[in-house]
Structure 1
Amino acid sequence: MTSTLEELDLDTTTRVVADVPWQTVVWDDPVNLMTYVSYVFRSYFGFSRDDAERLMLTVHHEGRAVVASGSREAMERHVEAMHAYGLQATVSKATP
Protein backbone atom coordinates (compact mmCIF):
# COMPACT_ATOMS: atom_id res chain seq x y z
CA MET A 1 0.00 0.00 0.00
CA THR A 2 1.79 3.08 -1.27
CA SER A 3 0.52 6.64 -0.73
CA THR A 4 1.79 9.97 -1.94
CA LEU A 5 1.73 13.21 0.00
CA GLU A 6 -1.11 14.45 -2.20
CA GLU A 7 -3.19 11.41 -1.33
CA LEU A 8 -2.52 11.82 2.38
CA ASP A 9 -3.24 15.54 2.18
CA LEU A 10 -0.65 16.31 4.84
CA ASP A 11 -0.07 19.83 5.96
CA THR A 12 3.64 20.14 5.33
CA THR A 13 3.92 23.85 6.00
CA THR A 14 5.97 24.87 8.98
CA ARG A 15 4.99 27.73 11.19
CA VAL A 16 7.77 29.93 12.42
CA VAL A 17 6.82 31.99 15.39
CA ALA A 18 9.16 34.87 15.99
CA ASP A 19 10.56 34.96 19.49
CA VAL A 20 9.52 38.16 21.19
CA PRO A 21 12.56 40.41 21.34
CA TRP A 22 14.24 40.56 24.71
CA GLN A 23 15.94 43.52 26.34
CA THR A 24 18.87 44.18 28.61
CA VAL A 25 17.82 46.67 31.27
CA VAL A 26 20.41 48.46 33.41
CA TRP A 27 19.16 49.74 36.76
CA ASP A 28 20.23 52.70 38.83
CA ASP A 29 22.24 51.95 41.94
CA PRO A 30 23.77 54.07 44.69
CA VAL A 31 27.26 52.62 44.18
CA ASN A 32 28.54 53.28 40.67
CA LEU A 33 29.55 56.72 39.47
CA MET A 34 27.80 58.10 36.42
CA THR A 35 31.12 58.42 34.61
CA TYR A 36 31.80 54.72 35.22
CA VAL A 37 28.37 53.68 33.89
CA SER A 38 29.00 55.75 30.77
CA TYR A 39 32.44 54.15 30.40
CA VAL A 40 30.91 50.65 30.62
CA PHE A 41 28.33 51.50 27.95
CA ARG A 42 31.05 52.81 25.64
CA SER A 43 33.57 50.03 26.21
CA TYR A 44 31.23 47.02 26.27
CA PHE A 45 28.44 48.01 23.88
CA GLY A 46 30.49 50.36 21.70
CA PHE A 47 28.15 53.31 22.12
CA SER A 48 29.35 56.74 21.12
CA ARG A 49 30.12 59.14 23.95
CA ASP A 50 26.82 60.99 23.36
CA ASP A 51 24.72 57.80 23.30
CA ALA A 52 26.46 56.42 26.39
CA GLU A 53 25.87 59.70 28.24
CA ARG A 54 22.21 59.76 27.20
CA LEU A 55 21.66 56.19 28.40
CA MET A 56 23.55 56.83 31.62
CA LEU A 57 21.36 59.88 32.32
CA THR A 58 18.25 57.81 31.60
CA VAL A 59 19.42 55.28 34.18
CA HIS A 60 20.14 58.09 36.65
CA HIS A 61 16.90 60.04 36.19
CA GLU A 62 14.40 57.27 35.38
CA GLY A 63 15.96 54.48 37.40
CA ARG A 64 16.51 52.21 34.42
CA ALA A 65 17.41 52.16 30.73
CA VAL A 66 17.13 49.60 27.96
CA VAL A 67 20.64 49.29 26.55
CA ALA A 68 20.19 46.38 24.10
CA SER A 69 17.53 44.21 22.51
CA GLY A 70 17.65 40.91 20.66
CA SER A 71 17.53 37.20 21.37
CA ARG A 72 17.15 36.02 24.92
CA GLU A 73 20.54 34.29 24.85
CA ALA A 74 22.34 37.44 23.70
CA MET A 75 20.59 39.54 26.34
CA GLU A 76 21.54 37.05 29.05
CA ARG A 77 25.18 37.38 27.97
CA HIS A 78 24.90 41.16 28.19
CA VAL A 79 23.39 40.95 31.68
CA GLU A 80 26.22 38.67 32.83
CA ALA A 81 28.72 41.17 31.42
CA MET A 82 27.00 44.07 33.21
CA HIS A 83 27.17 42.10 36.46
CA ALA A 84 30.88 41.50 35.86
CA TYR A 85 31.28 45.29 35.57
CA GLY A 86 29.40 45.69 38.86
CA LEU A 87 26.20 47.10 37.34
CA GLN A 88 22.70 45.91 38.14
CA ALA A 89 20.99 44.55 35.04
CA THR A 90 18.15 42.23 34.12
CA VAL A 91 16.62 40.58 31.05
CA SER A 92 13.02 41.39 30.19
CA LYS A 93 10.64 40.81 27.29
CA ALA A 94 10.30 43.75 24.98
CA THR A 95 6.86 45.31 24.96
CA PRO A 96 5.23 45.52 21.55
Structure 2
Amino acid sequence: MIAALPLEEEAVDVRPRTAGPWQTIVWNDPVNLMSYVSYVFRTYFGYTADRAEQLMLQVHRSGHAVVAEGAREQMELHVHAMHDYGLSATVREAPS
Protein backbone atom coordinates (compact mmCIF):
# COMPACT_ATOMS: atom_id res chain seq x y z
CA MET A 1 0.00 0.00 0.00
CA ILE A 2 1.27 3.47 -0.90
CA ALA A 3 0.84 6.21 1.66
CA ALA A 4 -0.28 9.60 0.38
CA LEU A 5 1.63 12.56 1.63
CA PRO A 6 -0.42 15.46 2.97
CA LEU A 7 -0.63 18.42 0.61
CA GLU A 8 1.27 21.47 1.71
CA GLU A 9 -0.52 24.77 1.41
CA GLU A 10 1.47 27.35 -0.45
CA ALA A 11 0.74 31.05 -0.46
CA VAL A 12 0.23 32.16 -4.04
CA ASP A 13 0.00 35.74 -5.20
CA VAL A 14 -3.07 35.78 -7.44
CA ARG A 15 -2.91 39.44 -8.37
CA PRO A 16 -2.53 40.08 -12.07
CA ARG A 17 1.08 40.81 -12.99
CA THR A 18 0.02 44.21 -14.29
CA ALA A 19 -1.65 45.30 -11.05
CA GLY A 20 -0.53 48.77 -10.29
CA PRO A 21 -0.25 51.60 -10.70
CA TRP A 22 3.38 51.58 -11.80
CA GLN A 23 5.99 54.32 -11.63
CA THR A 24 8.86 55.52 -13.79
CA ILE A 25 11.83 56.38 -11.60
CA VAL A 26 14.74 58.50 -12.87
CA TRP A 27 17.99 58.00 -10.96
CA ASN A 28 20.83 60.41 -10.33
CA ASP A 29 24.05 59.83 -12.24
CA PRO A 30 27.44 61.54 -12.38
CA VAL A 31 27.23 62.06 -16.14
CA ASN A 32 24.29 64.27 -17.11
CA LEU A 33 24.08 67.97 -16.36
CA MET A 34 21.15 69.14 -14.27
CA SER A 35 20.09 71.47 -17.08
CA TYR A 36 19.97 68.51 -19.47
CA VAL A 37 17.80 66.48 -17.09
CA SER A 38 15.36 69.42 -16.85
CA TYR A 39 15.41 69.69 -20.65
CA VAL A 40 14.50 66.00 -20.99
CA PHE A 41 11.62 66.33 -18.52
CA ARG A 42 10.26 69.36 -20.41
CA THR A 43 10.76 67.85 -23.86
CA TYR A 44 9.61 64.29 -23.31
CA PHE A 45 7.00 64.62 -20.55
CA GLY A 46 5.85 68.14 -21.43
CA TYR A 47 6.41 69.42 -17.90
CA THR A 48 6.55 73.14 -17.26
CA ALA A 49 9.98 74.61 -16.57
CA ASP A 50 9.11 74.87 -12.85
CA ARG A 51 7.92 71.24 -12.58
CA ALA A 52 10.90 69.95 -14.57
CA GLU A 53 13.24 71.89 -12.28
CA GLN A 54 11.54 70.47 -9.14
CA LEU A 55 11.88 66.91 -10.41
CA MET A 56 15.49 67.47 -11.50
CA LEU A 57 16.37 68.82 -8.05
CA GLN A 58 14.69 65.83 -6.41
CA VAL A 59 16.80 63.52 -8.58
CA HIS A 60 19.91 65.50 -7.68
CA ARG A 61 19.28 65.75 -3.93
CA SER A 62 17.46 62.49 -3.16
CA GLY A 63 19.09 60.31 -5.78
CA HIS A 64 15.86 59.63 -7.67
CA ALA A 65 12.40 60.95 -8.50
CA VAL A 66 9.09 59.52 -9.64
CA VAL A 67 8.52 61.24 -12.98
CA ALA A 68 5.38 59.38 -14.13
CA GLU A 69 2.77 56.96 -12.84
CA GLY A 70 0.28 54.77 -14.69
CA ALA A 71 -0.06 51.51 -16.57
CA ARG A 72 2.99 49.26 -16.57
CA GLU A 73 3.32 49.21 -20.35
CA GLN A 74 3.36 53.01 -20.53
CA MET A 75 5.92 53.25 -17.73
CA GLU A 76 8.16 50.77 -19.56
CA LEU A 77 7.94 52.97 -22.67
CA HIS A 78 8.97 55.97 -20.55
CA VAL A 79 11.96 54.04 -19.18
CA HIS A 80 13.11 53.14 -22.69
CA ALA A 81 12.75 56.78 -23.72
CA MET A 82 14.79 57.92 -20.70
CA HIS A 83 17.50 55.42 -21.66
CA ASP A 84 17.44 56.82 -25.21
CA TYR A 85 18.09 60.26 -23.68
CA GLY A 86 20.99 58.79 -21.69
CA LEU A 87 19.26 58.90 -18.29
CA SER A 88 19.14 56.05 -15.80
CA ALA A 89 15.54 54.98 -15.18
CA THR A 90 13.57 51.99 -13.90
CA VAL A 91 9.96 50.86 -13.44
CA ARG A 92 8.49 49.86 -10.10
CA GLU A 93 5.07 49.10 -8.77
CA ALA A 94 3.75 52.06 -6.80
CA PRO A 95 3.80 51.49 -3.05
CA SER A 96 0.34 50.82 -1.66
* TM-score using structure 2 length: 0.81
Task: Tell which structure's C-alpha radius of gyration is larger.
Answer: 1
**1:59 alignment counterpart:** 59
**2:76 alignment counterpart:** 76
Q: Structure 1 unaligned runs (5+)? A: 1-16
**2:93 alignment counterpart:** 93
Describe the SS at the equivalent of 1:42. helix
The answer to whether residue 75 in structure 2 is matched with residue 39 in structure 1 is no
Describe the SS at the equivalent of 1:19. coil
Q: Deviations over 1:29-48 (max 9, x none)?
A: 00000000000000000000
2:19 is aligned with what amino acid?
D
Describe the SS at the equivalent of 1:78. helix
Q: Structure 2 unaligned runs (5+)? A: 1-15
Identical aligned residues as a percent: 65
Higher helix share: 1
**1:11 alignment counterpart:** none
Cα distance in 2, alignment partners of residues 64 and 53 from structure 1? 13
Q: Deviations over 1:19-77 (max 9, x none)?
A: 21000000000000000000000000000000000000000000000000000000000
**1:7 alignment counterpart:** none
* TM-score using structure 1 length: 0.81
Shift >2 Å, 4+ stretches:
none
